Chain A
Amino acid sequence: MRVWKFGDDIDTDAIIPGRFLTIYDPAELSKHAFEGTRDEFAKEVRDGDVVVAGSNFGCGSSREHAPLALLGAGVKVVVAKSFARIFYRNAVNTGLLPLISAGTDSIRDGDAVTVNIAGGYIDVNGERLPVEPVPGFMKEIVDAGGLVAYAKDLDEVKTCSTE
């Protein structure tokens, strides 16, 4: 499993450009992942590869096509120093695991990586880096395999009062 390393502020327009938003199939979307900004990604990405980035990964548009394009490419985990809010939710909801790690600076493009979700760490370059687990309630969504699977078993939801 190799690392695809990206920098800070990778926006969802870069992950999947606006002209492909009429596509909804993850496999089709993945053919255009990072088109124009990193063309070799779609050609060379392999099932199980891991995207590693700096801070604010997935900023910008709310397009869920972004996590779907990564999932379609076989990427199941993104490790970043921080995530933009909407992308983070979209990833959890669709079954792409967003892991936060302060130590992504030392990870290089092409490094071999192993992700141990249960253990809360990744192994890369012979180094073990801790990753923050998905918080509280969102863990239930992750464990269910995404929000669709989580919602299927629900008849109604309990809401808090906003009064």
Chain B
Amino acid sequence: MAPVDAAMIHDITGPLAVRVFREMGGERVYDPERIIMLFDHQVPADSIPAAENHVFMRQFAEEQGIYNYDLIEGVCHQVVMEKGRAAPGEIIVGTDSHTCTYGAAGAFATGIGSTDMGFVLKFGALYFRVPESILVEVEGAFGKRVGAKDLILSLAGDIGADGATYMALEFTGDAMHDMNMAGRMTCANMAIEMGAKAGIVAPDAATWDYVTARRDIEPFTLEGDADAVYAGRRHYDVTDLAPQVAVPHNVDNVVDVTKVAGTKVDQVFIGSCTNGRYEDLAEAAEVLGNADRFADGVRVIVIPASRTEYLKALRGGLIERFVEAGALVEAPCCGPCMGGAFGLLAPGEVSLSTSNRNFRGRQGSAQASVYLSSPATAAASALYGEITDPREV
């Protein structure tokens, strides 16, 4: 068993974790200050059962003295990062598969189920198998309108949906360390799409700038041992990388955007824990430029990943541009990516999304199709109503 530094629970998987905690005989959680609670999947409540879940979780937070960010702060992984709840060297678990996002802060962070979480709530520890690591070395400089999402999609295509099962992906190389925190979060976030237990970027100056701005902590050195043994090593150069698109219905089904350019889209979703940060919205707005409107017949849904990111985009004039161009800008939440709240697809419809999964039925009907891309590709495609290479706009 290993001690857990922080544990994140949200509105979908949290209620089951609390039930399990009680079934295990739990009365008081191990440390309320190490538990992070918030609601993001069905926000604001989209059904009476969702509202009941929120009430149930609020009561638990109050009873246990857990600080509850409730539904106003945004998507769990963005909130954990921006509130400084993740730091290098920590062990963090969350009842959400994309908990691996905090690897961008140099934490060992992994998604778990509700029964595991019930155990963590009670004991503050969990059983783990120490993962082997794959070293992913990334060199070069991204071309115009190509970035972190294109890199991680190309990795998913190369490594495959189960190519890193039970392993940790350790991202390194000049291109990773040149990348801002938003990009690193995009990469770490999608480690799970290759089956990985964690995706970690060794902390550097940028990591410590980000973490120390949010938490009183003294920087220290944390890096892979010089003689570390890796289960595999992969080398990538992003210099000539084209914008990437994952085509239905698997995340590792990845092609250059040119292969699917011209595919008509009914909906474009820009947001999620993968790509809902200010930098992502700015990337989309840059492609939008001074265009009057997105293409007729395309529903464009923009959802900033958090209240903080929303305010940055609002003050930066991005939200105004999106609304002028005809986008629906929603309050921070998981939105269509959760496939049950809103923004669902009808049979036969096609969505292009900056989120992380294109599984059959992920965004509504199992007869709909979901493509995944970067915010730049999503914005370009929203402008033309079909999948479009952002370098051509």
- Band of interface residues on B: 35 or more
Question: Is A110 close to B, CB under 8 A?
Answer: no
Which B residue sits closest to A140, measured CB to CB?
Answer: B127
Proximity bits, A134-163, B CB within 8 Å = 1, else 0 = 000110000000111001101011111010
Question: B241-295: which have CB < 8 Å to A?
Answer: 250
- A22 to B95 CA separation, bound complex (whole angstroms): 15
- A62 to B99 CA separation, bound complex (whole angstroms): 10
**Chain A contact residues, majority secondary structure:** loop
Contact A85 to B166, CB < 8 A, known contacts A13-B357, A18-B340, A64-B16 = yes
Question: A88-103: which have CB < 8 Å to B?
Answer: 89-90, 93-94
Cβ contact of B23, chosen from A37, A90, A148, cutoff 8 A = A148
Contact A56 to B113, CB < 8 A, known contacts A19-B339, A137-B127 = no
How distant is B76 from chain A, measured CB to nearest CB, in Å? 12
How distant is A90 from chain B, measured CB to nearest CB, in Å? 4
Cβ contact of B359, chosen from A11, A90, A160, A162, cutoff 8 A = A11
Which A residue sits closest to B195, measured CB to CB?
Answer: A84
- Band of interface residues on A: 35 or more
How distant is B100 from chain A, measured CB to nearest CB, in Å? 11
Which A residue sits closest to B368, measured CB to CB?
Answer: A36
Question: Is there an interface contact between A62 and B113, defined as CB atoms closer than 8 Å?
Answer: yes
Contact A64 to B19, CB < 8 A, known contacts A9-B162, A22-B49, A56-B195 = no
Excluding A9-B161, A24-B16, A148-B115, 11 further A-B contacts by CB distance (< 8 Å) are A9-B162, A13-B339, A17-B340, A21-B12, A21-B340, A56-B165, A62-B112, A64-B113, A64-B115, A84-B165, A151-B118
Which A residues have a C-beta under 8 Å from some C-beta of B?
A: 9, 11, 13-14, 17-24, 36-37, 55-56, 59-65, 82, 84-86, 89-90, 93-94, 137-138, 146-148, 151-152, 154, 156-160, 162
